[in-house]
């Protein structure tokens, strides 16, 4: 798949007049098109709903865009629930999928009327004790063993070995949990599983669906529980590398339909998805400026972004394509490490990457940062998280999250003690 940013050098320069680098920029039109594409792919299933994984891009403007496109939200924490609530999501528009869940988080999910997805058999009694048992409850399944459709080129496996994953229940535990939940008043049930991360195989969802559909039949036979919902979760990936194909979500939907009609000839089961990366990942870019170059045993290009702005390359060794603005047509005849300023040697956006000749002042666009990009930011070395910008479908842009300031960084300290020395405004 050709890696060509929608953001031209002229567009980047226009934004920079108002928003200094580094910043993440998102394509509203592309996000809306992806939402419409997934809804079309599963339009054959009555009750289908996409629950956007808030953890991928927790920005209220993005959530409201997806709400307008008919999506719900998948939350995993109290703050994600709170963010979704202020965006107008409530009740069955929220899927709460958590593990090792704090009391306050579970109580908030119950208060909002969310679909609660229990990760462990012990959570049945926990839910009942701290909140109550709603009429509809999901349980998360872990089949154990290995799963072969996950993306592995980058050298990391997140969920491709379910037997080693901390998530989900065994089949026996699920059966026992449904029996307990029914005894506590639950009437309708869902099944959830997440077996692979960032798979770009069109076969992933159909294979996962077959596993869950057959599980639903067995669970119903063992318990009498009404399995009305099956959440295929996330894991559908995007092509980070230029030589990777994009997932054909329409083909994915058709593959799931065939399995569904085979196992559920009479229908009656509403499907859910909770895509994050696929929805927004390739609709975001990190724009950063070259501020230094260094030549020792290798040639280094230093930029004003760092792993605090995009953690995936440092954390996973993940590949993110890089475009040098204004030099797209020049030969890639120089080999660079593109690095940030953290005092960690893994703070590298690219290693031994062939790029056009780069000069101080050049703008680099780092691709596919629309999911797990800004969201995974942190403040190590006192570095501050960057701004977020929306490129609107009308062709303009607007700031949807300002960059952090030193005042933000120090806000959790006793500002009365140190504000004056730091030249900051004391807390009220």
* Distance of alpha carbon 262 from alpha carbon 298, whole angstroms: 57
- Domain 282-409: homologous superfamily in CATH: Lyase, Ornithine Decarboxylase; Chain A, domain 1 (2.40.37.10)
Q: What is the mean pLDDT of the chain?
A: 92
* Residue bearing tokens 């048992």: 133
Average pLDDT over residues 113-142: 96
* 170-214 pLDDT tens trace: 999 999 999 999 999 999 999 999 887 888 888 889 999 999 999
What token pair was written down for 147? 């799963």
Pairing of strands 284-295, 23-27: antiparallel
**% of residues, the chain, pLDDT over 70:** 91
Domain 28-281: give its CATH architecture: Alpha-Beta Barrel (3.20)
Domain boundaries, the chain: 28-281, 282-409
Query: What pLDDT is recorded for position 152?
Result: 44
Can you state the angle between helices 103-112 and 123-130, rounded to 10 degrees? 70
* 346-399 pLDDT tens trace: 999 999 999 999 999 999 999 999 999 999 999 999 999 999 999 999 999 999
User: DSSP for 255-306?
Assistant: HHHHHHHHH-TT---EEEE--SHHHHGGGEEEEEEEEEEEESSSEEEEES--
* 237-296 pLDDT tens trace: 999 999 988 999 999 999 999 999 999 999 999 999 999 999 999 999 999 999 999 999
Lowest mean per-residue pLDDT among 132-146, 156-170, 218-232: 156-170
Helices (H) and strands (E) in the chain, counts: 13, 17
User: DSSP for 141-178?
Assistant: B---S--S-S--TTS--SSS-GGG-S--B-HHHHHHHH
């Amino acid at each position: 798949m050709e890696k060509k940013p929608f953001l031209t050098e002229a567009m980047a320069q226009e934004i920079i007049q108002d928003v200094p680098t580094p910043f993440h920029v998102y394509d509203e039109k592309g996000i809306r098109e992806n939402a419409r594409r997934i809804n079309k792919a599963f339009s054959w299933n009555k009750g289908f709903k996409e629950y956007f994984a808030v953890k991928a891009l927790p920005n209220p403007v993005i959530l409201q865009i997806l709400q307008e496109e008919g999506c719900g939200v998948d939350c995993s924490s109290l703050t994600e629930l709170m963010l979704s609530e202020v965006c107008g999501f409530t009740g069955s528009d929220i899927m709460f999928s958590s593990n090792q869940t704090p009391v306050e988080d579970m109580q908030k999910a119950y208060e909002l009327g969310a679909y609660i997805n229990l990760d462990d058999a012990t959570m049945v009694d926990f839910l009942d004790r701290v909140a109550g048992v709603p009429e509809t409850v999901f349980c998360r399944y872990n089949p154990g063993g290995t799963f072969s459709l996950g993306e592995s080129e980058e050298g990391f496996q997140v969920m491709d070995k379910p037997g080693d994953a901390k998530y989900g229940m065994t089949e026996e535990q699920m059966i026992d949990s449904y029996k307990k939940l029914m005894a506590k008043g639950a009437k309708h049930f869902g099944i959830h599983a997440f077996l692979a991360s960032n798979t770009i195989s069109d076969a992933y969802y159909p294979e996962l669906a077959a596993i869950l559909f057959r599980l639903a039949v067995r669970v119903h036979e063992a318990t009498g529980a009404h399995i009305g919902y099956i959440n295929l979760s996330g894991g559908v990936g995007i092509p980070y590398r230029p030589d990777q194909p994009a997932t054909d979500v329409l083909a994915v939907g058709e593959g799931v339909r065939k399995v569904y009609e085979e196992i559920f000839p009479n229908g009656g089961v509403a499907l859910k998805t909770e895509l994050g990366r696929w929805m927004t990942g390739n609709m975001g870019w990190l724009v950063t400026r070259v501020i230094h170059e260094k030549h020792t045993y290798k040639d280094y290009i230093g930029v004003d972004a760092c792993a605090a702005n995009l953690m995936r390359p440092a954390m996973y060794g993940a590949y993110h394509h890089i475009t040098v603005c204004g030099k797209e047509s020049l030969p890639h005849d120089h080999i660079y490490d593109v690095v940030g300023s953290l005092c960690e040697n893994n703070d590298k956006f690219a290693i031994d990457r062939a790029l056009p000749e780069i000069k101080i002042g050049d703008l680099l666009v780092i691709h596919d940062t629309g999911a797990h990009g800004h969201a995974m930011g942190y403040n190590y070395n006192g570095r501050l998280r960057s701004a977020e910008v929306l490129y609107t479908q009308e062709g303009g842009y607007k700031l949807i999250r300002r960059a952090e300031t030193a005042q933000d960084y120090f806000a959790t300290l006793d500002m009365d003690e140190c504000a004056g020395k730091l030249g900051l405004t004391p807390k009220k």
